[in-house]
Amino acid sequence: MSEHLLDNILEKETTRRDFLKTAAKGTAALALGASLLSLVGCSSPMEQKGELTGLPLPQGMLVVTPDLCIGCGRCELACSMATAQQVQPALSAVHSGSGLQFGQSGPRLNYRYGDGLMGTGKLEPVVCRQCRAPMCANVCPNQAILPDKKTGARTVDPEKCDGCGRCISACPWQAIAQNPETGIAIKCITCGSCVEACPTGALAIAEWTDL
């Protein structure tokens, strides 16, 4: 297969994928209330079937502007210090380096058309979506993940968490870390530490009313 023909195939494949992504973003922008929340969190049909239990909505969630992210990793350092009292990116609830080279989808044949430094150069840190019906909370055998009384953010109760790791496996966004010393799960509590540390303004906490 000639290189020219291969490029044409990859162009078409990526174009379709980008079209679907764009369409999904357009739908999210037009949706209101529950419709929007079902796009960023878990779907309402799963709740209606009794497969998932919803939680009270949080006041807001962490949002990313990929065009502004430079992959410096300051958000990870600030988050790990705020949540685990250690300057250790592995303990961060925000993951800016996981897709640094090849984007969140990882290495693939048409990597140059995707995100990451080896592709378009666009970086998107992995963050918690503060799901309406969070998988992490639903699979926890000890009900250790509950909404914060003030902010509504889904937080981990260290007294109840036994380090089983089920929440980490269940999270579709891979946005939960685990302290290897204590076994306690670590997730975003929308404290804003990463937002303050970001030098380019790529991170922000958006209120649900604004969304």
Residue 23 lies in a domain: no
Domain-located, residue 44: no
Residue where the block lists tokens 């195939």: 9
pTM over 0.85, yes/no: no
Asked whether residue 40 is domain-assigned, the answer is no
Looking at residue 113, its pLDDT comes to 73
Q: What is the pLDDT of residues 108-158, one digit of tens each?
A: 777 777 777 667 777 778 899 998 889 999 999 999 999 999 999 999 999
CA–CA distance, 137 with 150 (Å, rounded to integer): 18
Structural domains of the chain, count: 1
Rounded CA-CA distance 115/102 in Å is 6
Kindly state the DSSP code that residue 85 receives in the 8-state scheme. Answer: S
Residue span of the structural domain in which 63 resides:
54-207
Does any domain span residue 35? no
Q: What is the CATH number of the domain that holds 138?
A: 3.30.70.20
Give 64-104 pLDDT, tens digit per residue: 998 898 888 999 999 999 988 889 888 999 988 776 666 67
Asked, for residue 20, whether it belongs to a domain, the answer is no
Alpha helices in 146-205 (DSSP H): 166-170, 193-197
